[in-house]
Structure 1
Amino acid sequence: MTTAGNQDAEGVRLQKALANAGVASRRVIEQYIVEGRIRVNGRTVSELGTRIDPENDLIDVDGTAVQLDVSKRYVMLNKPTGIYSTMRDEKGRPDLRRFTKEWEERLYNVGRLDAETSGLLILTNDGELAHVLAHPSFGVTKVYIAKVSGTVTAQTIAKLTRGFDLEDGPIKADKARLLDASRGSSLVELTLHSGRNRIVRRMMAAVGHPVEELVRRQFGPLHLGTLPVGKARELTKIERGALLTLSRQDTPAAAGDDDKQETE
């Protein structure tokens, strides 16, 4: 970041860069600067002549990160069951390539969902963001809806949130609630930040209710919403800002969940 005091300043004026990113008009952005609502690399900007390096400087407005690099793509997929979370499955099984044909960029999945699990998966060409969000030590919150066998009781819900031991150590849900129970099965909503392999399936099996169907409905600030199964769409500007803000928070989760990349 450079300031107006440097006559040979390189880079782009802050208000121009933010206007090009679709944040607001230059005049409105100048007002934001005066009001102290914009930060560059964590420092509040007060000078209207501030110049930035769009490729390296990190900008946020009202605490929400701004995407300046328009070459980056962020896509939400509602992955169907039967699809393997890889861009090229070495065994020739159905993979994610069929969902990325609409985009010229080479996209990669952030983390994984196993073939039997459906739901929200992020695809991007932003390697740095993908690495941060997929690493279990970062502890991104995920919300799952599990259809399980048997009638889940209040005592079981309490056990899920209180915690218990699995073969690879203690585990507990951040939140758990029973959504429905009928005809010998139950719907349970689980909120977790753990990145351990197949953790929802292992937790439910451990409390006596094996998973029959599993859907991931939320990943960090992103919600699956009404996106149909098998469809993909680019994130909105608000969603991109929320995801980038999350990825820039250097707050690893508690030790113990950082040994493997997430698979559910």
Structure 2
Amino acid sequence: MTETEGVRLQKVLAAAGIASRRASEEMILDGRVEVNGRIVTELGTRVDPERDTIRVDGSRIPAPRRHIYLVLNKPRGVVSTMDDPEGRPTLSDYVPPRMPRLFHVGRLDTQTEGLIVLTNDGEFAHRLAHPSYEVSKTYMVEVVGGMEPRTLKRLEKGVTLDDGPVKPDKIKVVSRTEGRTLLRITLHEGRNRIVRRMMDAVGHPVERLSRTAIGPIMLGQLPPGETREITRDELGKLLDIVGM
């Protein structure tokens, strides 16, 4: 890249909402900004925001958005497709108006609620869903029965299902009430109905299931049926995870 090509680094940071251009210049001078793994302290540095990997204090700054990245809190009873020949409620019923065609990343069964990513970035969707990138998923799981410590230990060690073993990354009892146990489970698995089948295997059928996180994306207080944009920080972390 020649001195006249690209965009000044401080302008890219300001456009990304990191800070004002003057404050961005100070960040550069303080050695807080990296371009392609190299700390940059020259104010005249020009970059290609579409190609160069830019970080501030170690956090990835995504390129200007050419695509749409949304979080949807899927309600129970909604099919994880954009169209259903049987006329059931689908994800497309919850997409904001005037959106282009979107892909959903991964699936939740009809009775499972929670976080689904919607995007028109096909490569990003493919990588985020691909098991080789091992993007973690976290669920809140309400099961029938008071789970005993030995059963929890069995889950921690992993159980074998008809299509192979599964072992959670983390599992924690959040609360117990009469006849019910609430768990938080994190795993990298993407197999069909994996959490429900895992709970069935230890004799505690799922009463209610919600996905609350995918990697760094948290559902938070987003109401069922509502969407929000994936934040800059969330997107930057996801791009690192999936190698984009």
TM-score of the superposed pair, with normalisation by structure 2: 0.90
1:20 maps to 15
Q: Is the 8 A contact 1:144 1:218 kept in 2?
A: yes
Q: Which whole-Å CA distance do the structure 2 matches of 1:149 and 1:166 have between them?
A: 20
Could you tell me how far 1:164 is from its partner in structure 2?
Answer: 2.4
Offset, 1:78: 0.9
User: 1:249 maps to which residue?
Assistant: 241
Q: Match of 1:122, SS?
A: strand
Question: 1:118 pairs with 113, 125, 142, which one?
Answer: 113
Write the letter of the residue equivalent to 2:232: R
Match of 1:168 in 2: 163
Task: Confirm or deny: 8 A CA contact 1:18 1:68 kept in the other structure.
Answer: no
What 5-or-longer segments of structure 1 have no aligned partner?
Answer: 252-264
Equivalent residue for 1:39, pick from 25, 31, 34: 34
Q: Is the 8 A contact 2:72 2:115 kept in 1?
A: yes
Given residue 227 of structure 2, which amino acid in structure 1 is its aligned partner? Answer: A
Paired AA for residue 236 in structure 2: L
Contact 2:112–2:209 (CA under 8 A) maintained in structure 1: yes
Contact 1:132 1:247 in 2 (8 A): no
Looking at structure 1, the residues matched to 111 and 175 of structure 2 have their Cα atoms a distance apart, in angstroms, of: 21
State the TM-score, normalized to the length of structure 1: 0.84
- Percent of matched pairs sharing the same residue: 51
Provide the secondary structure at the position in 2 that maps to 1:145: strand
1:203 to 192, 198, 201: 198
Output the amino acid matched with 1:104.
M
Q: Give the one of 184, 190, 194 matched to 2:189.
A: 194
Structure 1 residue 203, shift from structure 2 partner = 0.6
Measure how far apart 1:250 and its partner are.
5.3
Q: CA RMSD in A?
A: 1.9
Distance of 1:188 and 1:250 partners within structure 2: 28
Count of residues in correspondence between the two structures? 243
| CA displacement at 1:161 relative to structure 2 | 0.9
**Structure 1: 4+ residue segments shifted above 6 A:** none
Of residues 47, 53, 57 in structure 2, which corresponds to 1:58?
53
Compute the displacement of 1:79 (Å): 0.4
Partner of 1:97: 92
Unaligned ranges ≥5, structure 2: none
User: Is the Cα–Cα contact under 8 Å of residues 115 and 214 in structure 2 kept in the other structure?
Assistant: yes
Q: Which amino acid aligns with 1:37?
A: R
Distance 1:67 1:42 in 2: 15
Match of 1:75 among 70, 76, 80: 70
Q: Which residue does 1:84 correspond to in 2?
A: 79
